[in-house]
Amino acid sequence: MANTFETPKWMQDYEVVFGEDVETKEATEFGKLLAEQKEENFTEGEVFKGKVVRIGQDYVMVDIGYKQEGLVHVKEFLNYDGTLKISEGDEIEVYLEKLESRLGNLVLSKDKAEILKAWDKISEACEKGTPVEGTVVAKVKGGLSVDIGVKAFLPGSQIDLRPTRYLDKYIGKKMEFKVIKFNKKRGNIVLSRRAILQEERGKLRGEILSQIQEGMVVKGIVKNITDYGAFIDLGGIDGLLHITDMSWGRVKHPSSLLAIGDEIEVKILKFDQEKERVSLGLKQVQPNPWEKAKEKYTAGTKVKGEIVSVKDYGVFIELDDGIEGLIHVSEMSWTGKIKNPAKHFNVGESIEAQVLDVDVENKRISLGLKQLQDNPWNAIESKYSVGSKATGKIKSIVEFGMFVDLGEEVDALIHVSDISWTKKNVNLNEEFKEGQDVEAMVLSVDKDNAKFCLGIKQLQEDPWKKIETRLPVGTVVEAEVVRVTDFGAFVELETGIEGLIHISELSEERVEKPEDVVKRGDAVKAMVISIDKDAKKIALSIKSAATAAANGSYSHEPVKTATLADKLKGFSVE
């Protein structure tokens, strides 16, 4: 099968025509003669002068006096902007890489010729560390291509002191570089601009350290950003700009304010010359918003802001950069129903409030939310007058009383002490149920302290109010013993009203134990000997009643004994 051959593009550029091979004896001898001529006059690895014969799309044809022209890739003749450096007819020097490629042409290189020409200079620059000047001509993989008389490679990590993303800005710029690596055999040259900058930075460092002072305002470039702040390059020394010194307001993350490469003005807050540490401030070069806060945020002013923090005790509102106000949980609702702010408010929400107080010295602004709402206590105060009756459902039962829903925004409280005039230690859960209808009297509406109190016992007259009329001192009554204690016996005089017969009043004789004289359920006759309405205590005496009966009459005058008051001290009617 015949081999097929596709004409290469470079051949198309120069219209090279191949004929069929004719293997004759004469051709063989001519080939040997030609090979000898090649070896004699043209040696691979040498530099030859040539003339530009033709410029094609991909290759430049150069005549170096050989039996056929050689090809140099066109990219070796391009300026950084894509224009050609040469014209047809120009004389140039080229490096002979191969006498004959597989397609039969010379392989030439202008770049390698220039490298060989400049090699001594480059070798010396690398050895001594002296800088070389060059122009950035193109962006290549991993860095930039630089023309220093020959093409050299500038890695991305060696372009600047800081990582650089946008390489296009360097194209066309003339700068100085250091040769950090070269390979003569391969013709590779590696440059560094960073090394030049580091040397310059070292020189500047000493100057800056001698000039720097606390309180100075200087310019710097953001070099690095961390969670806790940013490092600023001051030209020879780095300073730390802590997150707390970036803004008068809250900063979630330094990257929200700064980006690497930003040029900013900062203030020297602290300088440790021995450790060469510099603390910087950005907010310190900006006006302090609190200086005009007193004028801007007066009490009663309506303000709007964004919720920046939600706590158990309230929410913080950002009113301006560096200015925050607190809506305390007690200022969120007139009814006090908001107990957990996190259930009602979210960070990032916009909210309106009223300024209650401004404390510039401590940088605090108190805000109120309920002040922008109608106060339900005004309506309750006018609707429920003290002494009027109200009916509602028991909403909840707690240890100290019951909350009653009257159909208002505010629940009313019936305290356990307002359940009964006479019953002590009332078990609310036994006598009442949630959802049960209850009638009570309005005792007080205190809108200042947000208290609405009702009472059940107030629907009836206080039996202690006229106790002296019904049971005057000196009256002998017959009553049932309901309780016997170590210090005496309690008797029930009326429903819910008890009196105490002290152990010393049980008998004319000395009593060691009250249970030796009386027992629960016994009916006894006793005389009322004292009444204390405020303390709700009644003292009785069996022996006084017996004396009166023996004399045939009862005295209505109080029985005065020197120890009676002492006997009653410390005891309460249970």
Global pTM exceeds 0.85:
no
User: How many separate domains does the chain show?
Assistant: 4
Give the range among 101-105, 409-413, 456-460, 523-527 with minimum mean pLDDT.
101-105
C-alpha 393/C-alpha 436 separation (Å) is 5
- Please say if the pLDDT value at position 566 is more than 90: no
Confidence of residue 402 (pLDDT cuts 50, 70, 90): very high
Backbone angles phi, psi at 73, to 5 degrees: -60, 140
- Please say if the pLDDT value at position 379 is more than 90: no
Residue at 153 is within a domain: no
Last residue of a domain, one of 419, 440, 459: 459
Q: Based on the domain organization, do 395 and 348 belong to the same domain? A: no
Pairing of strands 238-242, 277-281: parallel
As a whole number, mean pLDDT of residues 479-495 equals 89
Confidence of residue 526 (pLDDT cuts 50, 70, 90): very high
Confidence of residue 519 (pLDDT cuts 50, 70, 90): very high
As a whole number, mean pLDDT of residues 141-168 equals 85
Q: Based on the domain organization, do 562 and 472 belong to the same domain? A: yes
Residue at 498 is within a domain: yes
Residue at 12 is within a domain: no
Q: What is the pLDDT of residue 495?
A: 74
- Please say if the pLDDT value at position 90 is more than 80: yes
Q: Based on the domain organization, do 296 and 337 belong to the same domain? A: yes
Q: Based on the domain organization, do 352 and 436 belong to the same domain? A: no
Q: What is the pLDDT of residue 328?
A: 92
Give the range among 40-49, 240-249, 400-409, 447-456 with minimum mean pLDDT.
40-49
Q: Based on the domain organization, do 554 and 509 belong to the same domain? A: yes
Q: What is the pLDDT of residue 32?
A: 55
Q: Based on the domain organization, do 400 and 324 belong to the same domain? A: no
Q: What is the DSSP letter of 299?
A: T
pLDDT, tens digit (0-9, with 9 covering 90-100), for 14-34:
443 333 443 444 445 555 555
Give the range among 6-20, 48-62, 74-88 with minimum mean pLDDT.
6-20
pLDDT, tens digit (0-9, with 9 covering 90-100), for 183-235:
776 768 899 988 888 777 776 666 677 677 788 888 888 988 999 999 988 87
Q: What is the pLDDT of residue 30?
A: 52
As a whole number, mean pLDDT of residues 35-59 equals 77
As a whole number, mean pLDDT of residues 392-408 equals 90
Q: Based on the domain organization, do 501 and 447 belong to the same domain? A: no
Residue at 173 is within a domain: no
As a whole number, mean pLDDT of residues 386-392 equals 90
Q: Provide the CATH number for the domain around residue 453.
A: 2.40.50.140
Residue at 233 is within a domain: yes
Give the tokens for residue 156: 């991305």
Q: Which residue has the higher pLDDT, 443 or 562?
A: 443
Nearest to 94 by CA among 104, 81, 107, 83: 107
Last residue of a domain, one of 254, 269, 285: 285
Q: Residue 553: count other Cβ atoms within 10 Å of its Cβ.
A: 8
Q: Based on the domain organization, do 482 and 563 belong to the same domain? A: yes
Q: What is the pLDDT of residue 28?
A: 54
Domain that holds residue 438: 376-459
Q: What is the pLDDT of residue 316?
A: 93
Residue at 143 is within a domain: no
- Please say if the pLDDT value at position 451 is more than 90: no
Last residue of a domain, one of 333, 363, 393: 363
Give the tokens for residue 541: 């005496």
Confidence of residue 490 (pLDDT cuts 50, 70, 90): very high
Confidence of residue 242 (pLDDT cuts 50, 70, 90): very high
Nearest to 395 by CA among 452, 357, 433, 425: 433
Q: What is the pLDDT of residue 569?
A: 43
Q: What is the pLDDT of residue 553?
A: 56
Share of the chain above pLDDT 90, in %: 19
Mean of all residue pLDDT scores within the chain: 81
Residue at 268 is within a domain: yes
As a whole number, mean pLDDT of residues 105-113 equals 84
Q: State the maximum Cα–Cα separation within the chain, in Å, rounded to a whole number.
A: 178
C-alpha 329/C-alpha 337 separation (Å) is 10
In DSSP notation, 79-138 reads -TTS-BS--TT-EEEEEEEES--TTS-EEEEHHHHHHHHHHHHHHHHHHHT--EEEEEEE
Confidence of residue 551 (pLDDT cuts 50, 70, 90): confident
Q: What is the pLDDT of residue 2?
A: 39
- Please say if the pLDDT value at position 333 is more than 80: yes
Pairing of strands 401-405, 412-415: antiparallel
Q: Which residue has the higher pLDDT, 436 or 557?
A: 436
Residue at 316 is within a domain: yes
Pairing of strands 188-192, 174-183: antiparallel
- Please say if the pLDDT value at position 410 is more than 90: no
Q: Residue 404: count other Cβ atoms within 10 Å of its Cβ.
A: 23
pLDDT, tens digit (0-9, with 9 covering 90-100), for 250-308:
788 999 889 888 889 898 888 887 777 889 988 888 888 888 888 888 888 899 999 98
Q: What is the pLDDT of residue 454?
A: 93
Q: What is the pLDDT of residue 29?
A: 56
Q: Based on the domain organization, do 349 and 298 belong to the same domain? A: yes
As a whole number, mean pLDDT of residues 43-56 equals 87
Q: Based on the domain organization, do 495 and 436 belong to the same domain? A: no
Q: What is the pLDDT of residue 14?
A: 44
Q: Residue 89: count other Cβ atoms within 10 Å of its Cβ.
A: 8
Site of tokens 């200087």: 218
Q: Based on the domain organization, do 338 and 314 belong to the same domain? A: yes
Give the range among 76-85, 89-98, 410-419 with minimum mean pLDDT.
76-85
Q: Based on the domain organization, do 227 and 255 belong to the same domain? A: yes
